[in-house]
Chains A and B, each alone.
Chain A
Amino acid sequence: MQRLMRGTWTMWLVVHLGTLHLGTLHLGTVHLGTVHLGTLAPWHPGTLDQPPRSIRVNAERFSFTPSKIEIDAGEDVEIHLKSDDTSHGFRILGPGRDEAVIANVAIPKRGKGEIVVPLKIEKPGRYVFECSRMCGAGHNFMRGELVVRERAAGSSGGGVPRPLMEGYDR
């Protein structure tokens, strides 16, 4: 909580409520809003020339794909979470022995849309992300790693937008 109050990172939750389809006619996407989860630092969701990088993560019993995500310190990213089966959780824990919970959201079941977690972490380190909703016999295997790299000197944090697949592996 102290870390949170110091405003060393920023966490927002965007709920993407679905896409309207009528047969093959795409009527548009419904995006009903963004909820601030309670940090102090203002979040800038990317300017026109620096949109936040999107990282797509699939959850399935009992793994995340990718299971390792790499971002830069201070970089604006959006983690798009989707499930291939049941509802899972997505919780990010602080680096090292820090047990602070940085994010904790529910991923909807398959076919019920995705959830987007905008994220900006200032402190470099290795963070753990994991399923926080009991999803079956192998629930505790469902873990991954979020690596926050030191920002290079002179970097503004965002830089030129990069391809979606850059910066992480499975």
Chain B
Amino acid sequence: MKLLLRLAILAIYAGICAPHEALAQPAQPPAPASSEAATGRTGPFSGYMDFHFNKEEGRDGVLDFHRFVLLFNHSFTTRIRFVGELELEHAFVEGLEEAGELELEQAYVDFLISRPFNVRAGMMLVPLGIINERHEPPVFNGVERPFVDTVIIPTTWFEAGAGIHGEIGRGLRYRAFAMAPLDAIEFSAEEGIRGGVQKGAEANVRNFAFTGRAEYIGIPDLTVGAGFWTGDSSFSVRRIDTKVHVGEVDARYQRGRLELRGQFAHVGIGDAGRLNDAIERLVGISPNIARSLRGFYGEAAYRVWDAGSPRDLVAFVRYENFDTQHRMPDGFLPLKEFDRDAWVGGLTYYPDPDVAVKIDYVHVRNQSGIVRAPRGVNIGLGWWF
């Protein structure tokens, strides 16, 4: 722990002592038009990485190379383009074991037709919430993603499908996709619908799910969005009508050194009582799936050190409230340990706008008198290239 803290301090010190580029760079001649800098090409690869140290109270610390993500892009023409995102989670994948994951999070072709109307098909991100489509480590505060964007909206939520997107004008943008539905048999009390994402792996499409998002950027410094997901998810458990509806609203506001963001998300699961009974008959234990899940958070961040240089220090605090047992079907009682809230506070230091050194303290509480919620310290290093 001490060693890691020393390393983090050294990293910050190295950033402070690095040459002040904003002052030092004027001697650089302008790049010719054909160079990488002028054309904006970065080669065939981009990506991001996330390296964490997590220390929960009463447990041993954990070092985790959480995400190793490569993005690929190719333009067939200026109007037909491919984007791919391949993610290795937790550094190691071994067959039939609960270890890391290798995931194809994005692999789609965009047909860019006009400003208001474009077509996309392949493996796509579900357009819900702040984080699911904006999950590069320097983009959000905190070592780990918000809990609401983990157990209510199961980021990174991706699925196979097709749809349309565009900007109608005056700052109003939209996307609307048809995708493979969730598999209700994989839902759980603790993580809600997360386990039900089919991830485009020979996904059952007896019924298609539909998702969409509208986003308004027409007011300076403010982005507001709202998204939905709806689909019949009971193809694995016939004769049950498990429709899942997800709705969320979110907003981000940034002015000067201050950034505020907030999000509210709600999940409704139809016929949850019969779904619990059916799964109990299959596996012997009732999963205690709720008929509704709910979560929200608000975050304030302030750039405490910003002298016009590319290096910044941001302090933030976030309050989250999330309950995966918010409303139960008749005859089922909620497990209070899953009615949780959390305070997360910390610092994000940017030695470069694409590199984030993070430290935070997480204090989770729950309504259970028996099961204690985790609390602890996280240190992270994330970068985009």
Residues of A within 8 A of B (CB): 13, 15, 17-18, 20-21, 30, 32-33, 35, 37-38, 61-63, 65, 67-68, 83-91, 93, 99, 101, 104-107, 109-113, 126, 128, 131-141, 143-145, 169-170
Closest chain-B Cβ to A70's Cβ sits at a distance in Å of: 12
A residues in contact with B310, CB < 8 Å: 109-112
Q: Which residue of chain B lies nearest to A110 when distances are taken between CB atoms in the complex?
A: B353
A residues in contact with B32, CB < 8 Å: 35
B residues in contact with A87, CB < 8 Å: 40, 354
Question: Is A17 within 8 A of B25, CB to CB?
Answer: yes
Closest chain-B Cβ to A59's Cβ sits at a distance in Å of: 11
Question: Is B354 within 8 A of A109, CB to CB?
Answer: yes
Q: Which of B42, B115, B169, B170 contacts A128 (CB 8 A)?
A: B115
Q: Which of A91, A112, A134 contacts B22 (CB 8 A)?
A: A112
A residues in contact with B191, CB < 8 Å: none
- How big is chain B's contact interface, by range? 35 or more
B236 interfacial contact with A, CB 8 Å: no
A residues in contact with B25, CB < 8 Å: 17-18, 112-113
A residues in contact with B40, CB < 8 Å: 87-91, 104-107, 131-133
Question: Is B308 within 8 A of A138, CB to CB?
Answer: no
Q: Which residue of chain B lies nearest to A36 when distances are taken between CB atoms in the complex?
A: B33
Question: Is A145 within 8 A of B115, CB to CB?
Answer: yes
Whole-angstrom CA separation of A113 from B353 in the bound complex: 13
Give the 5 A-B CB pairs with smallest separation, nearest first.
A89-B40, A111-B310, A15-B30, A133-B40, A134-B46
Whole-angstrom CA separation of A140 from B118 in the bound complex: 10
Q: Which of A20, A85, A93, A170 contacts B353 (CB 8 A)?
A: A85
Closest chain-A Cβ to B257's Cβ sits at a distance in Å of: 13
Question: Is A111 within 8 A of B353, CB to CB?
Answer: yes
Question: Is A105 within 8 A of B217, CB to CB?
Answer: no
Number of A-B contacts (CB under 8 A): 154
A residues in contact with B71, CB < 8 Å: 134, 136-137
Given contacts A85-B353, A105-B40, A106-B39, contact A140 B26 (CB under 8 A): no
List 20 A–B pairs whose Cβ atoms lie within 8 Å, in order of A's numbering.
A20-B26, A33-B30, A83-B353, A85-B138, A85-B139, A86-B354, A87-B40, A87-B354, A91-B40, A105-B40, A107-B40, A109-B353, A110-B310, A111-B308, A111-B312, A132-B41, A133-B41, A143-B115, A143-B167, A170-B219
Beta-carbon contacts under 8 Å, B78-121 to A: 78-79, 81, 83, 85, 105-106, 110, 112, 115, 120
Stretch at the interface among B56-64, B129-137, B333-341, B373-381: B129-137
Known: A15-B30, A86-B138, A141-B173. 20 other contacts (CB 8 A): A20-B26, A32-B26, A33-B30, A65-B220, A99-B79, A104-B33, A105-B38, A106-B39, A109-B352, A109-B353, A110-B310, A133-B40, A134-B73, A136-B136, A136-B139, A137-B106, A137-B135, A137-B136, A139-B83, A169-B218
B208 interfacial contact with A, CB 8 Å: no
Q: Which residue of chain B lies nearest to A136 when distances are taken between CB atoms in the complex?
A: B136
Closest chain-A Cβ to B220's Cβ sits at a distance in Å of: 8
Closest chain-A Cβ to B135's Cβ sits at a distance in Å of: 7
Question: Is B73 within 8 A of A139, CB to CB?
Answer: yes
B residues in contact with A30, CB < 8 Å: 26
Closest chain-B Cβ to A117's Cβ sits at a distance in Å of: 11
Whole-angstrom CA separation of A140 from B122 in the bound complex: 14
Closest chain-B Cβ to A38's Cβ sits at a distance in Å of: 7
Whole-angstrom CA separation of A48 from B120 in the bound complex: 48
B residues in contact with A113, CB < 8 Å: 22, 25
B residues in contact with A84, CB < 8 Å: 254
Question: Is B26 within 8 A of A18, CB to CB?
Answer: yes
Closest chain-B Cβ to A84's Cβ sits at a distance in Å of: 8
Whole-angstrom CA separation of A18 from B73 in the bound complex: 31
B residues in contact with A33, CB < 8 Å: 29-30
Whole-angstrom CA separation of A150 from B274 in the bound complex: 65
Whole-angstrom CA separation of A88 from B165 in the bound complex: 21
B residues in contact with A68, CB < 8 Å: 169
Question: Is B139 within 8 A of A140, CB to CB?
Answer: no
Closest chain-B Cβ to A166's Cβ sits at a distance in Å of: 16
B residues in contact with A15, CB < 8 Å: 30-31
Question: Is A138 within 8 A of B29, CB to CB?
Answer: no
Whole-angstrom CA separation of A85 from B33 in the bound complex: 23
Beta-carbon contacts under 8 Å, B178-230 to A: 217-220, 223
B21 interfacial contact with A, CB 8 Å: yes
Question: Is A61 within 8 A of B78, CB to CB?
Answer: no
Question: Is B38 within 8 A of A106, CB to CB?
Answer: yes
B311 interfacial contact with A, CB 8 Å: yes
Whole-angstrom CA separation of A94 from B23 in the bound complex: 37
Per-residue interface assignment for chain B, residues 7 to 38, with 1 indicating a CB less than 8 Å from any chain A CB and 0 otherwise: 00000000000000111011011111100111
Beta-carbon contacts under 8 Å, B127-152 to A: 133-136, 138-139
Given contacts A37-B33, A109-B354, contact A67 B22 (CB under 8 A): no
